[in-house]
Amino acid sequence: MKLIVGLGNPGRKYDQTRHNIGFRVVNDIAEQNRVAIKKRACDSLVGELIVMGERVLLAKPQTYMNLSGQAVKALLKDTRSSPENLVVIYDELDLPFGRIRVRQKGSAAGHRGAMSIMESLAGAPFYRVRVGIGRPPEGVEPADFVLEPFFPDEVDQLDALVARAAKAALSIIQEGGQRAMEKFNRVD
């Protein structure tokens, strides 16, 4: 079984924040495939779809961002899957707003959710779809910036960005990681 995990924080308070873009992308995949993400399993909300004849679990960990690794490790164990079948979607400060980067290896670049997953998997490689949210304005701390809503000019572009990130995640499942990197890492 493959897993697509979107990172975010549970609760209405965080719904519209930059840190919850992973949840938005998973919601988009679910909506496009008429899947409900309501079942509770392994400290996550989950739903299941079939992609090219293969079962894919969509998950939104409910552990809060910094403890995402606990939920991901439990999901992998529960589904008897391994990290090479895992795609994790999350926000990235070091990418300009609107850019997407697909990677299988590398550092967490300070992202605590990614760091938690890397630690829980003992460094095993897994695919990541990093969604660019850009750097905070002068004088705004990164920890505060990620917990704020998007700027009005970004909101206008958000649906397209979420849809593109959803396509990147599904591309990893359908075409493999290398092809997804070739398609989504280039700058248009």
- Which residues are tagged catalytic? 19
Q: How many other CB atoms are found less than 10 A from the CB of residue 4?
A: 27
Tell the burial category of 163 from Cβ atoms under 10 Å away from its Cβ (0-12, 13-18, 19+). Answer: middle
Q: Under a CB-based contact definition with an 8 Å cutoff, are residues 137 and 93 in contact?
A: no
How many angstroms separate the CA atoms of 123 and 105, rounded? 9
How many angstroms separate the CA atoms of 150 and 88, rounded? 21
How many angstroms separate the CA atoms of 139 and 42, rounded? 38
Q: Under a CB-based contact definition with an 8 Å cutoff, are residues 134 and 96 in contact?
A: yes
Residue 117 DSSP symbol: H
Beta-sheet strands, E only, within 75-150 = 86-92, 100-103, 127-132
